[in-house]
Structure 1
Amino acid sequence: MSTADLLVLIFYVVLYRILLPRFYHVFYFYTFGCRLISILIAAVIDCSVWLTVSFSFDRFIIICFQQFRRTYCSLKCATLIIAVIYLLTYCRNLPYYFAILTHHVHNNIQFGCKTNPNIDTSPEWLHTILTPLVPYVCVVLLNLLTIRQVLVASQIRRGFRGSGGEAGDPEMQSRRRALMLLFAASANFIILWITTVGLFLFSRMTYTYFYRDFNDPFAIVNEISRMLRVLNCSTSTCMDALTQARFREELRKAMKYCANMINQFVTVANG
């Protein structure tokens, strides 16, 4: 999930929002570059959203269905689910690749890009329903079911333990930590995506789909919703870094690896 969020920051924020407007002819010089960027920008956000759903579902299975914990919560199963999410997401955004045509060909090399009028990518309403309307409902529903199960289990366990309460109960403390992480990630997603969901519902109820300029309130809210979507990815990565020791350890390893590679490159260059 953190990797998907980082990809959103790299491709959507750095590449699409910062570099592309300033170096348009560099990135869109080759047709293949146009097509690749179109798919990546659309797919990375979808991956981030659906991996948030998978994270909520994972916590739901662990807490509510203990009998499936060993079968479902394994490295092999997690790898398979992540791979399927990435595969389906990129397949769903594949029409963006064919929606771009070559502007001209020189020496059998395709240059430039233009929109293909004969290919229609997924309609905007369908795209919004799949991301984030359906994930939004799934996350809320899974969290409510998880909360209900935790409250019932805590009440039963407290009754068995008597006056001892939860002070010396490692199981309840472990559940509380897992629940706090789940709620933090889910609440972050729900709050920061609520503008996008509300804007979609408002546009459908009032038949407002276009705006004249950026002074229009609809345009302002639309840009705010985009900003909040990106902020969701940033805060999710920060939460993982602050709350998960294994994530911090892997991040340190990655930074050390990059530092060693740079050091070796500098050594070879100077030698």
Structure 2
Amino acid sequence: MELATIEQAAFIYYHFLAIFGVPANFLSIVLLSRGGCGLSKGITLYLVGMTTADLLVIIFNVIIYYILGYYLPFPALRYTSVMRINEVINYMVVDCSVWFTVAFTVDRFVLICCQELREKYCRENTAAVVLVTVCVVSCFKNIPLYFAFEPDSIINNVEWGVHFKPTYFTLPGWVTYDWLDTLFNPLLPYFLIIFLNALTVKHILMANRTRRALQDQRNSKSSDDPEMQSRRKSIILLFSISGTFIVLWMPYVVFFLISRITGSLYNPAQNSDPLFIADYTGDMFQLLSSCTNTCVYALTQTKFREKLRNAIMYPFSAIIRYVK
């Protein structure tokens, strides 16, 4: 099958995404789970949850859906029942990945901005409850999607492929569900992260101004303040993760809003249509966000970077010891 230029680029891109994303996320899960990265148990649990969800996104949305499902000859993956299940899982793991990022942002917001709540909220037990709740809600929220699809064709009484039923776009129940799904992801989490980060920045600027004024009175340097040092580390990690999420999801959200507000549609057969290219590009950037957290951890966390370097060098060190 001849592919358009953007499809050829995506074909190559998704393979590199899978080659890098799977081992990077898996290694991050192992290193974070073992501890010793200088992070609290609560934040470590959030990071493990986010990385696990990102790994599942790479496996189901990239490897199975795009690579195996569309480019390689695996007929079993084209059965309607299988594709329906895969569609539900795709939506579910993306929802988990996105809302885990929201949960992490809320946790950091409470830690930095809400002194009265931080002791009660920023704990390992709270993180576990939040992550489990997100998983359960995402699972039940996407189950109706299984019934929103119908087969593309029926050959010898075997159903192949899937597409949305025409009634999905006309029946009030399905239309309501679609808008609630749209609000749930990507609109609400995307703008919620931006809003919380804006409040966090405002709080930090005001707190730092007040703290510097107090320290000037004591003839003390802010660089020696342990409170500001601790806050700075939390801010760097928060803004690195949520900032990367905002940037990489921006093309997808912009295309989504334009297409929904204007009602613009494109014909998949017209490969040069700007909307077709924008749709593919948005998906590519969105899926890239499932591979960036390992890089963020390595760049912002010294102890994680040391553990990552030791893990990468361990096979080579073992070979050298064996040779000697």
Provide the TM-score with structure 1 as the length reference. Answer: 0.80
Aligned to 2:293: 236
Residues 1:141 and 2:195 aligned together: yes
Q: Are the equivalent residues in 1 in contact too, given 2:61–2:90 (CA < 8 A)?
A: yes
Residues 1:224 and 2:273 aligned together: no
Give SS of 1:233's match.
coil
Aligned to 1:194: 250
Paired residue for 1:36, among 81, 85, 95? Answer: 85
Aligned to 1:26: 76
Unaligned runs of 5+ in 2: 1-49, 169-173, 316-324
Paired residue for 2:147, among 95, 98, 104? Answer: 98
Paired residue for 1:80, among 115, 126, 129? Answer: 129
Aligned to 2:62: 13
Alpha-carbon spacing, 1:116–1:199, altered in 2? closer, same or farther (3 Å): closer
Question: AA paired with 1:224?
Answer: T
Residues 1:49 and 2:98 aligned together: yes
Q: Are the equivalent residues in 2 in contact too, given 1:98–1:119 (CA < 8 A)?
A: no
Aligned to 1:153: 207
Cα deviation for residue 49 of structure 1 reads: 1.0
Cα deviation for residue 111 of structure 1 reads: 7.8
Unaligned runs of 5+ in 1: 260-271
Distance in 2, matches of 1:3 and 1:249, equals 21
Give SS of 2:290's match.
helix
Give SS of 1:164's match.
coil
Distance in 2, matches of 1:37 and 1:58, equals 31
Render the CA deviation track for 1:24-59: whole Å, top value 9, x for unaligned. 41234583x334312111111111111111111111
Question: AA paired with 1:237?
Answer: T
Q: Are the equivalent residues in 1 in contact too, given 2:266–2:273 (CA < 8 A)?
A: no
Cα deviation for residue 99 of structure 1 reads: 3.7
Cα deviation for residue 171 of structure 1 reads: 1.2
Aligned to 2:108: 59
Identify the range of structure 1 (110-119 vs 55-64) with the bigger mean alpha-carbon deviation.
110-119
Aligned ranges 1:109-128 → 2 under 5 Å: 117=165, 120=168, 124-128=178-182
Give SS of 2:223's match.
coil
Q: Are the equivalent residues in 2 in contact too, given 1:39–1:97 (CA < 8 A)?
A: yes
Q: Are the equivalent residues in 2 in contact too, given 1:128–1:200 (CA < 8 A)?
A: no
Question: What is the total number of aligned residue pairs between the two structures?
Answer: 252
Paired residue for 2:237, among 178, 181, 184? Answer: 181
Give SS of 1:234's match.
coil
The percent of aligned pairs where both chains have the same amino acid is 37
Distance in 2, matches of 1:172 and 1:213, equals 55
CA RMSD for the aligned pairs? 3.2
Aligned to 1:131: 185
Cα deviation for residue 231 of structure 1 reads: 0.9
